[in-house]
Structure 1
Amino acid sequence: SQATWASSSRGFLQRRPPPVKVLSGQLRAAGLRGAADSEEGFVIRADRARSLRVSLVWMQGTVLDVQLDRDTVLLMDETGTFTVQGVNSTPRGKQCLCQGHDICSLTIFQAVSPEPVIRAVKMADLSDFAALHRRMWKLEVEELQQMLA
């Protein structure tokens, strides 16, 4: 039932490390520390000397392809492409799923190969200020990761 899923997902999300802003290239190079659905998550490189454990990630990218029948969207950031699953069940997510729109998504990191696969929890359309969001994203990613590492 929906109530059971909501209850179990809250406990599942509470065991995870805090959300981290990441680039798709970092996810592509991530190493698996535990099972993808465990609290262990994946390990990404924050910089040359430090790494972070991640499972909930904030990602931002431009919509390349929408496949609502497959419940997925393909996004691209400055380091590559990544697939977001579960878009049909994300509140207000479908409204922003138009080719060329810029999206920010809170997601659960599920797989690293051949490209990052993540499951949407929340999505927001950033298209109104897309140029600003694109310029700032890499700086936001670097700053948060430096603080957490």
Structure 2
Amino acid sequence: MYKPAETTAERKHPPPVKVLSGQLRTAESRGTADGCLIRRGGGRSLPVSLVWMQGTVLEVQPERNTVMLMDETGTFAVQGVNNIPRGKPCLEPGKYVMVMGVIVAASPEPVIRAVKMADLSELAGLHRRMWKLEVEELQRVLA
């Protein structure tokens, strides 16, 4: 069976890992381009560079191309939001959104450079309740 060769982009970044901002705050840095290691139970660590996060929009800073979000473990900044196709509807305080992006900084305040954003406000209650479980399940499988 024919299997096409991986492109450089496919090798460069593994799939996004679902994380909470609190996990990034306590993560071990692996260098700017390599992301970080988040600690899992049992002494295990999980390398992450591309993340999937969810949270409520607290503040929009269009002049800085940034939005501040909050999940159940704290706040985090998302940069590059003005460059995201169809990202504008997400840029409103109170909206519950998902963001996929590359880790720019993990601590003291997590900063993510956005690659994709989507508004999850319509079913925000369900998304909020399920998010921590989704994060735990994916990390358990990956670790």
State the partner residue of 1:20.
Answer: 17
Q: TM-score, normalised by structure 2?
A: 0.90
1:87, 1:75 → 2: CA distance?
12
Q: Distance in 1 between matches of 2:108 and 2:9?
A: 26
Structure 2, gaps ≥5 residues long: 1-6
Aligned residues: 137
Q: CA deviation at 1:36?
A: 1.9
Q: Provide, for residues 83-134 of structure 1, a one-character-per-residue CA deviation record: whole Å limited to 9, x for no partner.
A: 0000000111111111000010111011022200000000000000000000
Query: Residue 106 of structure 1 corresponds to which residue in structure 2?
Result: 100
Between the aligned partners of 2:11 and 2:78, the Cα distance in structure 1 is 21
SS in structure 1 opposite 2:60? Answer: strand
Find out whether 1:36 has 2:25 as its counterpart. no
Q: CA deviation at 1:15?
A: 1.4
Between the aligned partners of 2:81 and 2:42, the Cα distance in structure 1 is 34
TM-score (norm: length of structure 1): 0.87
Query: Secondary structure of the residue that 1:99 maps to in structure 2?
Result: coil
Q: In angstroms, what is the RMSD of aligned CA positions?
A: 1.4
Contact 2:24 2:107 in 1 (8 A): no
User: 1:1-149 to 2 correspondence within 5 Å?
Assistant: 11=8, 14-33=11-30, 35-37=31-33, 40-149=34-143
- 8 Å contact 1:20–1:144 — kept in the other structure? yes
What is the alpha-carbon distance in structure 2 between the residues aligned to residue 96 and residue 83 of structure 1? 14
Paired letter, 2:36: F
On the 8 A contact 1:17/1:53 being kept in 2, the answer is no
Amino acid across the alignment from 2:110: P
**How far 1:13 moved relative to its partner?**
6.0
Check 1:13–1:116 CA distance in 2 against 1; reply closer, same or farther (3 A cut). Answer: farther
The one-letter amino acid of 2:139's match is Q
Instruction: Give the percent of matched residue pairs that are identical in Structure 1 and Structure 2.
Output: 65
Distance 1:42 1:134, change over 3 A: same
Matched position secondary structure for 1:17: coil
